[in-house]
């Protein structure tokens, strides 16, 4: 029996993780954390009977304690860290945002195997995370369709990597001009053509910030220079990633767009298991796969992400924080769609970088960027 800790249990990734766990009796859900969705969280507690549960607020904790008297509860940042380290085993970090970084660090120090869907962990603290993984002799496997694809391709190859190729659907606005993007609505931006995801990541796919975060993650995960990580448009979302080797051969990973596949891959690695609930890929039915060169003028946030990644130090944290706040402002209808990239560009231009920052310095940088932007838009 393998013990699982799931952070972000009520989110898009979290609920799909629960589907996989439900179909694999060798896994036991020992502890979970979630935010404000106490209705769904309560159902998860009822079905899976975790020993420890962390929620966002003390008031929600009190309500759940009355409903589930046999369960231990915590709340806030302290409760989240407790959830991340409550038991040995595997941590699945499906949290969205900077809040996911410290629990990952705590779990690594606890010797846990890390399955990571939280992009921010590697984006803002990739060097620190890699050092900790070596120090505590544990492993990290990505839960992300594109990064999982690269992980699979690299394990299928024989080394001597020339470049990594990450595909991008282009998001819901891939056929719109820059002028047409000026007045797109929140509702339009949330209609992704291929994937069902949470609101933040769906907006990130529309701006291509998501692909930028994946590029930075791939750099830290696989130790490949940014100049050897390529992004291309692939509207069908069937080819999720490719690895070109020195002999110019290419290994690609293909599947229908289903996040349960990379989740199960990460859980079972290095083994594979048949899942009757997964749809088989029928290339004859699809008929054709198309690829287009990435347009960095069309997607300036992707270029900014490459630039921030190459600069290193605090700049990936600046990019991430500015983008996270800007997306939040857009979802609240405080800014227009194209203002997201303006906010990120301004943050990158005006923040002084520092090489090899500590985790504490990264957290301070993150808060400073957020506060600057929120003060500008008079958001409390």
Domains of the chain, residue spans? 2-142, 146-258+285-311
pLDDT confidence of residue 272: 86
**Residue 258: per-residue pLDDT:** 93
Question: Percentage of the chain surpassing pLDDT 70?
Answer: 98
* Superfamily designation of domain 2-142: NAD(P)-binding Rossmann-like Domain (3.40.50.720)
pLDDT at 157 over 80: no
* Coil/strand/helix, residue 53: strand
pLDDT for residue 143 is more than 60: yes
Mean pLDDT confidence for 320-324:
97
**Residue 338 backbone class (left: φ over 0; alpha: ψ -120 to 50; beta: rest):** alpha
pLDDT in tens, 12-61: 999 999 999 998 888 999 999 999 999 999 999 999 999 999 999 999 99
pLDDT tens column, 77-102: 999 999 999 988 999 999 999 999 99
Look up residue 138 and give its two tokens.
């544990």
What confidence tens digit (pLDDT) does each residue in 57-74 have?
A: 999 999 999 999 999 999
Tell me the average pLDDT across 130-150. 97
Query: DSSP string of 55-107?
Result: ES-HHHHHHHHHH-TTSEEEEHHHHHHHHHHSSSSEEEE---SGGGHHHHHHH
Q: What is the per-residue pLDDT for 195?
A: 67
The rounded mean pLDDT for the chain is 94
What is the pLDDT averaged over residues 300-325?
98
- What is the mean pLDDT of the segment spanning 163-189? 90
Mean pLDDT of 179-205: 85
Whole-number pLDDT of residue 359: 97
């Amino acid at each position: 029996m393998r013990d699982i800790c799931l952070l972000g249990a009520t989110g898009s990734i979290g609920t799909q993780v629960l589907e996989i766990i439900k179909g694999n009796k060798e896994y036991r859900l020992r502890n979970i954390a979630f935010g404000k969705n106490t209705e769904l969280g309560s159902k998860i507690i009822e079905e899976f009977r975790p020993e420890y549960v962390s929620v966002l607020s003390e008031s929600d904790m009190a309500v759940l304690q009355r409903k589930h008297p046999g369960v231990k509860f915590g709340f806030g940042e302290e409760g989240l860290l407790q959830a991340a380290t409550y038991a040995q085993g595997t941590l699945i970090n499906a949290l969205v945002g900077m809040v996911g970084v410290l629990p990952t660090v705590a779990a690594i120090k606890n010797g846990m195997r890390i399955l990571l869907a939280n992009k921010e962990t590697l984006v803002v603290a990739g060097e620190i995370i890699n050092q900790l993984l070596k120090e505590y002799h544990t492993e990290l496997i990505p839960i992300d369709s594109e990064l999982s694809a690269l992980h699979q391709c690299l394990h299928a190859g024989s080394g001597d990597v020339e470049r990594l190729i990450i595909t991008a659907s282009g998001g819901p606005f891939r056929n719109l001009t820059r002028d047409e993007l000026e007045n797109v609505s929140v509702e339009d931006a949330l209609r992704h053509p291929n994937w069902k995801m949470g609101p933040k990541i769906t907006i990130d796919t529309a701006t291509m910030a998501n692909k930028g975060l994946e590029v930075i993650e791939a750099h830290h995960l696989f130790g490949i220079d940014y100049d050897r990580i390529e992004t291309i448009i692939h509207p069908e979302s069937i080819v999720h990633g490719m690895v070109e080797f020195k002999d110019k051969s290419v290994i690609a990973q293909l599947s229908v767009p289903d996040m349960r596949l990379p989740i199960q891959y990460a859980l079972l690695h290095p083994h594979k298991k048949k899942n009757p609930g997964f749809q088989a890929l029928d290339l004859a039915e699809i008929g054709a796969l198309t690829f287009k060169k990435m347009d960095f003028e069309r997607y300036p946030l992707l270029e900014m992400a490459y630039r921030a990644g190459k600069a290193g130090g605090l700049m990936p944290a600046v990019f991430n924080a500015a983008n996270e706040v800007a997306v939040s402002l857009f979802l609240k209808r405080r800014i227009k769609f194209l203002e997201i990239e303006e906010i990120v560009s301004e943050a990158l231009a005006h923040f002084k970088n520092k090489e090899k920052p500590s985790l504490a310095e990264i957290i301070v940088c993150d808060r400073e960027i957020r506060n600057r932007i929120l003060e500008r838009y008079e958001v409390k």
